[in-house]
Structure 1
Amino acid sequence: MSGKFSRGLDVVDGSLDVFRANPRLAVLPLCSLLLVGSGFAIAAGVALHYGLVASIFTNDLITYAAIFVGLALTSSLGAFFNVAVAHCAFQYFDGGTPTVQDGLRAAWRSRRAVAMWALTSATLGTVLYILDDKFGFLGSAARLVFDLAWGLLTFFVVPVIVVEDTADLRTILRESGSAFKETWGESVSASLGVSLVVLPGALVGIFLLVAAYLGLHGIVAWIVGGLGLLCVVAAIITAQVLGMVARTALYEYATEDRRVGPFADRNPASVFPES
């Protein structure tokens, strides 16, 4: 067990090397953040203009609709740009020189699968929120268990969308679940490793934001707050890129038995032993 987790951390180290070789990949998650932020800003403006803010907190139907729209927005844009990153990673592993334009074109070709995935995620997320809201402890427990199971089952959804070129949800889930079963230890530990890598930067950013808001004033507060925001954004972008590079490399090994990216210069027996 411990061997699997230490090998998963090696995957993160190799993913950092891939990111350093392709720093422009950071543009893709940055675009995702900007578009998601813009979408929520527009939605907030519409809600304020039409006086819907109070209804969101008092009318269940409007609350659930708002949750569905929010989940659909974040899921669709997140999946779209993650597909772009994964395509670039696949291209790099195959010896190519990926560009942001290549990734965006690949994501656009997969738009039907991305849309299907976003609608499914938004629907399930809304249903789980309703269960949590209406059934108290039992609903919360069911939501927790299902969220965990769903996260593991869908771990490789984005690489599957890139490779399989299908919008069939059953195929996507089957392939993702099969790949996760083959590399579950490395997959979980790689995700934890990514979190540990970006956590210091995120904490620094949060500290600067809190300090700017609570303890500073004037231009100094704006400067410190701006630096804090940059740190948080940089941590999110780094986590997105490293996570997708690691998942793409793991998916290649699980499905094609190929050592690429984080595994290219390592002995396969030391990364994925047979036993």
Structure 2
Amino acid sequence: MSGKFSRGLAVADGSLDMFRANPHLAVLPLCSLLLVGSGFAVAAGIAFHYGLVASLLTNDFLQYTALFVSIALTSSLGTFFNAAVAHCAFRYFDGEDPTVEEGLRAAWEARRAIAVWALTSATLGTVLYILDDKFGFLGSAARLVFDLAWSLLTFFVVPVIIVEDTTNIRSILQESGATFKETWGESVTASLSVSLVTLPVVLVGVACLAGAYFTTNGPTAWLLGTIGLLAVVAGIVASQVLGMVARVALYEYATKDHRVGPFDRRDPSEIFPDSP
């Protein structure tokens, strides 16, 4: 058990090395954040302009429809740019120098699978929200359990979408679930390690934003607010890149059983005991 966790730490550390060597990959999750934020800003503007806010709060059908569209939007854009990061990570692990353009091109080639995945996520997310909304405690409990199981089952969905040329959701989920089963300890530890690496940056940003809102005014408030916003965005972007690189590395180990990228100088037994 402890071996799995130590190997997860090694993968997270190697992912950080890969990110240092390819800082330009930060452009991809940054684009995702900007597009998602812009989309919601436009939607909010339309809702306020046409007086739809009250209807969204009182009309279940409009509320569920808005939720479905929101999840589909965030899932499709997030998966698209994460897929671009994953492609770049695969290329780097093959000894090549990845570019943002190549990542975007690969994600575009997988657009059908990404669209199917986004619609699936939106459908399930909306159904779970309705259960939570209509069935009280039982619905909330069911949503909590399903959310946890779903997050584990879909942990490797993005690498699978990039590698496997299929839009079959069942096949994608089976491959992702099988990979997670093989690497659950490493996956959990790598994810926690990535969170611990980026959390201080986010906390500094939140502290600056709080300081700007509660304790200062004028130019100082604007300066603190700007620094805080940049720090929060930087933490989110770094977390996205590091998390995706770690998943690609673990996917390579689990499916190909060989060392990749920044880990190729390490003893295979430090990562997976059964590696040749």
Same fold (TM over 0.5): yes
Distance 2:180 2:263 in 1: 17
The size of the alignment, in residue pairs, is 275
C-alpha separation between the residues in 1 aligned to 2:150 and 2:120?
12
**In 1, Cα distance between equivalents of 2:4 and 2:155:** 17
Residue 27 of structure 1, CA deviation = 0.4
1:1-275 to 2 correspondences below 5 Å: 1-274=1-274
Q: Deviation of residue 185 (structure 1)?
A: 0.5
Q: Deviations over 1:28-73 (max 9, x none)?
A: 0000000000000010011011111111111111111111111111
Distance in 1, Cα, partners of 2:169 & 2:246: 23
1:184-217 CA deviation, whole Å, 9 max, x = no partner?
Answer: 1001111111111101000110111111011110
**How high is the TM-score relative to the length of structure 2?**
0.98
Greater Cα offset, 55-64 or 219-228: 55-64
Letter in 1 for 2:190: A
Cα deviation code 1:54-110 (max 9, x no counterpart): 111111111111111111110000000000000000011111111000000000000
In 2, Cα distance between equivalents of 1:10 and 1:247: 13
| Two-structure CA RMSD over aligned residues (Å) | 1.1
> Tell me, what secondary structure is at the counterpart of 2:98?
coil
Amino acid of the residue matched to residue 9 of structure 1?
Answer: L
The CA distance in 1 between the partners of 2:262 and 2:21, in whole Å, is 12
Q: Does the Cα contact within 8 Å between 1:249 and 1:262 map onto a contact in 2?
A: no
In the alignment, the residues of structure 1 paired with residue 52 and residue 3 of structure 2 have an alpha-carbon distance, to the nearest angstrom, of 53
- Check the 8 A contact 1:10/1:262 in 2, yes or no: no
Q: Which runs of 5+ in 1 are unaligned?
A: none
Consecutive aligned runs of 4 or more in structure 1 exceeding 6 Å deviation: none
Distance in 2 (CA, whole Å) between partners of 1:137 and 1:6 is 38
**Contact 2:159/2:248 (<8 A) preserved:** yes
Distance (whole Å) between structure 2 residues aligned to residue 99 and residue 269 of structure 1: 31
What code does the residue aligned with 2:270 have?
S
- Give the AA of the match of 2:113: A
So what's the TM-score if we normalise by structure 1? 0.98
* 1:8 CA displacement: 0.6
Separation in 2, partners of 1:253, 1:262: 13
Gaps of 5+ in 2: none
Superposition deviation, residue 262 in structure 1: 4.4
